[in-house]
Amino acid sequence: MIWTQIALAETTKEAAPAFSTWDLVAQTGPVVLLVLLLLLSFSVLSWAIIWTKWKTLGRLSVLSEEFLEIFWSGRSMDYIYGESKKLTAAPTAKIFQSGYKELQRLIERQKQKGDTNKGVADISEIIPPESSIHNLERAISTASRNEIIKLENSMTFLATTASSAPFIGLFGTVWGIMSAFQNIGNQGGASLAVVAPSISEALIATAVGLFAAIPASMGYNYFNNKIRNQKVQME
């Protein structure tokens, strides 16, 4: 009796060979393989965006802080403009430069009309006419929107990956389970050797979908908070 059980166990081992993860991926069907490749592409692009955003937003945050210290130092507008050229990558510095250049343009227009501001030492001492304030506000607002668009670049892809990758993985899972049932029908039985490969590839699709979605979701939330802080500084 004991020898019979041992013989059956040995037979079972031979009938159900072990599969590694890479073996399962190599043996996946074309549909599940396409799903895995798509999710892998999403994951690679997401990590590239996360790395680039992390470096870029970190550097811009430092530069913006430096510019704001200069801006609130009480120095003249001309001095601040000169210093802003050294921090031209900072969004706050670019917005200030846009406003400064628009103010200069308005002053030049006043001079052409003969309404000169003689005796002023700094541009901050010049008060533009009320009719020109709207143009100045519009220039600053346009510059602010442009900087926000640059900051939010690629954020849509992270949000799309975070929301769609689990469902793409779920599609691969459903397809794998359908393949498992098809194998059961073809073999006429539901042994582990028949259903294990299809079920395993289905679960791999789910795992890869989560692997792509979780970092993208965390990166999106983290960078969204960083961009929100930049918007506050711009205001």
Is pLDDT of 124 > 60? no
Position 40 pLDDT exceeds 50: yes
pLDDT at 116: 54
pLDDT band at 8 (very low <50, low <70, confident <90, very high): very low
Q: What pTM was computed for the model?
A: 0.74
Check whether 62 has a pLDDT greater than 70: yes
**What average pLDDT does range 108-132 have in this prediction?**
59
Average pLDDT over the chain, rounded to an integer: 78
Q: What is the pLDDT of residue 232?
A: 83
Pairwise pLDDT comparison (220 vs 107), residue with the higher score: 220
Has residue 115 got a pLDDT over 70? no
Decide which of 31 and 7 is more confident.
Answer: 31
Mean pLDDT along residues 69-74: 85
pLDDT-derived band at 130 (thresholds 50, 70, 90) equals: low
- Per-residue DSSP letters for the chain? -HHHHHHHHHHHHHHS----HHHHHHT--HHHHHHHHHHHHHHHHHHHHHHHHHHHHHHHHHHHHHHHHHHTTT--HHHHHHHHGGGTTSHHHHHHHHHHHHHHHHHHHHHHTT---TT-SSGGG----HHHHHHHHHHHHHHHHHHHHHHTTTHHHHHHHHHHHHHHHHHHHHHHHHHHHHHHHHHTS--HHHHHHHHHHHHHHHHHHHHHHHHHHHHHHHHHHHHHHHHHHH-
Q: Over 60: is that where the pLDDT of 90 sits? A: yes
- How confident is the model at residue 137, as a pLDDT? 80
> Per-residue pLDDT tens for 176-211?
787 777 766 666 665 555 566 667 777 888 889 999
For the stretch 207-231, pLDDT in tens is 899 999 999 999 999 999 998 888 8
